[in-house]
Chains A and B, each alone.
Chain A
Amino acid sequence: MRRAWKRIWRGMRRAWQGLREWSGDAAYEKYVRCVRRAGGGEPLTAAEFYVEELKRRYSRPNRCC
């Protein structure tokens, strides 16, 4: 029973993480991890990253007909 709950809990956490990634909620955390891993200096702040990412995303076709 406990094992089943653990599995359900793990599945729900995965789904939540997937939703956060899909919606862009986790984008900043991912970016910071990437910068730290690459040793690329100080990362942008959350607000700077958010605005920069939006500018980039909406400068090319990102919605279809």
Chain B
Amino acid sequence: MKKALGVFAWAIVAVVGGVALGAIALHRGEPISATWFVLAAGCSYLVAYRFYSAFIAAKLLALDNTRATPAERREDGRDFVPTNKWVLFGHHFAAIAGPGPLVGPTLAAQFGYLPGTLWLIAGAALAGCVQDFVILFCSIRRDGKTLGEMARQEVSERGGFIAQLAVLAIMIILLGVVALVVVNALKSSPWATFTLAMTIPIGLLLGIYLRYVRPGRVLEASVMGVALVLFVVVAGQWVADSPAWAKMFTMSGVGLAFAIIAYGFAASALPVWLLLAPRDYLSAFIKAGAIFSLAAGILLVRPQVLMPPLTRFVDGSGPVFAGKIFPFCFITIACGAISGFHSLISSGTTPKMIQREGQARLIGYGAMLLESFVGVMAMVAACAMTPGVYFAINSPATIVGASPEAAAQTISSWGYPLTAETMTRLAHGVGEQTLLNRAGGAPSLAVGMAQIFSNTIGGERLLSIWYHFAIMFEALFILTVLDAGTRVGRFMVQELGGRVWKPLGRMNWMPAILLSSALIVAAWGYFLYQGVVDPLGGINSLWPLFGIANQLLAAVALVVATTILLKMGRLKWIWVTLLPMTWLVIITMTASYQKIFSVNPRIGFLAFAKVLSGQIASGKIPLEQIGETRRVIFNQRLDAVVTAVLAGMILVLVVEAVFQWYAILRRRKVPVMRETPYVATQWAEGD
């Protein structure tokens, strides 16, 4: 009877999910309620978790709860700490949830709501969650080894080195791109710039409190910090209203870029307790609060999704970024569906803290489902504003024009009605001078979030406060990724550089710290500067580059996972990782090829460089702009080389792995597993 009830309940969940998916896929004409999105995503995730992850756990991985995990065998209270599964779920989710699932879907909304939403749901269930889950399992069985170490041991020495280089390259591109998102969100906005700037002294204050006054009392410090941050969000309005203060905090893109570069250097070189860690604590609480508030707001307000399911830009002519729906929708969504970066967390702290192998299903697969849900919320927030407003905020001035009138005329001519007055009124409503040409996804997401929040609490009166709260939330946790990433990048530079020049590898030697910090900051700072001076807004070329890099790392993780599973003799179920791996290799290679060789100058780096060179040769570029144009040409060629190198590295790894698989399958090579030997758990069931 109980079983029959269970079957009946799951049948209902599946039917509701199917109907909701059908509704958002087949709906045409009138706006559609966001409730359908919540139902489609929620029910699909429940079914995927209940059935697909259970299948992977039982058939593919054969999780064994009698086997002691590294946290039990090597418990030391520091790295190896057995942790309650729900606490660890929270840790893991906080670590994997970054700005990607917010920015990616917002940008991909230019294709309409449908392609992005479907890929967010299907990609997460069939690829992203699988990657996180399987890599977590592999790392648990290898004493918490990192992805790079597993690649070296299980695929080849070269494979490990390639994975390490790929991680560093991705980190550099990622940091440059996310910094650009912050610059575009703060540009010419004294309110937002003041609010974010104030989080630095607040962070320093908390750092000193946590180090000297009440060591390690994170909760009380965070409560104080969050209260102060909320105060500066409100105080930002006074700054914006005062001509003298507003002038001080109104910064250009280039000025902001240099300020962020200086901040990144300081965060990397200063003691970690002083600035980086306390800001991270603040960010974690505000992130959790904002994400849950957004989900609650969407459920309460149930906004209408005004964006059509498919826009005319599926043909690749989009103003936000150029490129057809295949492969660029998948590249742009990136982390909301699958993120290579997650494999670093799944093979980092989490495997060292897990109590039972069986919990890998909840933590590896489940946390990624929640991340995907955040992506769906971001998609809803972006699509809940009128399409005209969305395109006006996210398109560069070179395409839609710099004035409200010009933008309104261009965007209306595309079939998305917009008046100049709408943009002026909206900018005034959120307390900004202008919302035009704010590419990067953050401002449009903030507008969407502010509209949802103000419909829940405060109405129009609080719209500007909510907008700046959303901007602060996005910028704060993007900067957390930036400073933590810069520091980790510094360690990688020291580790790799130490092979060439030993003193550089000394982690406590100040000149080595300063030099490696400068190197890593210069690397991502270059990409940031390049994006700021790019006439197309930077995001147009840099976000796809980041997407390609991120998805390539996911391909690396799936290559490693497939190799390990093959060695375990799981040939029958190998498609579980092999199919997403193949898909990722296809989309990343296609995107890489198009970004390098496409003859369309808005897509191909080399084609754009050629057009600009031609314009210089034919005298179309004014004399005073020739220097800047040559810089843009150089940057385009550099982007082409970076893309080619990344794609080349991954191809080498895939070819090596394929040769190894062939040798194993033809029994020419005895598969050697590097699993730690079985040790029975000493913990009672339910511990």
Contacts and interface: CB of A to CB of B under 8 A. Distances in A.
B216 A23 contact: no
A24 B95 CA distance: 14
Chain B binding surface SS class? helix
B154 to A, nearest CB: 20
B98 A63 contact: yes
Interface string B56-81: 00000000000000000001111101
B87 A22 contact: yes
Given A23-B219, A28-B216, A65 B98 contact: yes
Interface string B347-364: 011000000000000000
* Interface of A, helix, strand, loop or mixed by DSSP: helix
Interface stretch (B108-116, B207-215, B293-301): B207-215
B174 interface: yes
Given A25-B217, A30-B81, A61-B345, A55 B272 contact: yes
Nearest to A53: B78
Interface in B394-428: none
B345 A54 contact: no
Which of A27, A38, A61 counts the most chain B CB atoms within 10 A? A61
A20 interface: yes
Contacts of B99: 65
A25 B216 contact: yes
B341 to A, nearest CB: 5
Given A20-B219, A65-B550, A31 B100 contact: no
Contacts of B100: 64-65
Interface string A31-65: 11111001000000111011111111111111111
Interface residues of B, number: 61
A58 B276 contact: yes
Nearest to B371: A64
Contacts of B210: 50
B222 interface: yes
A50 B87 contact: no
Given A19-B219, A27-B216, A59 B491 contact: yes
A55 B339 CA distance: 26
Interface in B98-142: 98-100
Contacts of B485: 61, 63
B481 A31 contact: no
A51 B276 CA distance: 12
B459 interface: no
Nearest to A58: B272
B558 to A, nearest CB: 17
Contacts of B344: 60-61, 64
B252 interface: no
B480 interface: yes
Nearest to B349: A62
B216 A63 contact: no
Contacts of B87: 18, 21-22
Contact of B91 (A22, A28, A60): A22
A33 B341 CA distance: 33
B215 A31 contact: no
Interface in B278-302: 280-281, 284-285
A18 B84 contact: yes
A23 B271 CA distance: 20
A35 B76 CA distance: 7
Nearest to A27: B216
A50 B481 contact: no
Contacts of A47: 211-212, 215-216
A58 B487 contact: yes
A33 B75 CA distance: 11
Given A50-B273, A51-B273, A61 B341 contact: yes
A23 B281 contact: yes
A21 B550 contact: no
B512 to A, nearest CB: 14
B515 interface: no
A56 B78 contact: yes
Nearest to B147: A61
Interface string A1-32: 00000000000000000111111110110111
A25 B48 CA distance: 34
B480 A63 contact: yes
Contacts of A19: 219
A64 B78 contact: no
B78 A31 contact: yes
Contacts of B389: none
B272 A62 contact: no
A32 B487 CA distance: 28
B86 interface: yes
B380 interface: no
19 contacts: A23-B218, A25-B218, A28-B216, A30-B81, A34-B81, A46-B215, A54-B272, A58-B272, A58-B487, A59-B488, A63-B95, A63-B280, A63-B481, A63-B485, A64-B97, A64-B335, A64-B481, A65-B100, A65-B335
Task: For the complex of A and B, list the 10 residue pairs with the smallest distance between their C-beta atoms, beginning with the closest.
Answer: A34-B77, A31-B77, A47-B215, A50-B216, A61-B344, A46-B215, A65-B100, A63-B484, A22-B90, A21-B87
Interface of B: 75-79, 81, 83-84, 86-87, 90-91, 94-100, 146, 167, 171, 174, 178, 210-212, 215-219, 222, 271-273, 276-277, 280-281, 284-285, 334-335, 339, 341-342, 344-345, 348-349, 480-481, 484-485, 487-488, 491, 507, 546, 550
Given A34-B77, A62-B349, A62-B484, 17 more contacts: A21-B87, A22-B87, A23-B218, A24-B281, A25-B219, A27-B81, A28-B215, A31-B77, A34-B76, A34-B81, A47-B216, A52-B78, A58-B272, A64-B96, A64-B98, A64-B341, A65-B178
Interface of A: 18-25, 27-28, 30-35, 38, 45-47, 49-65
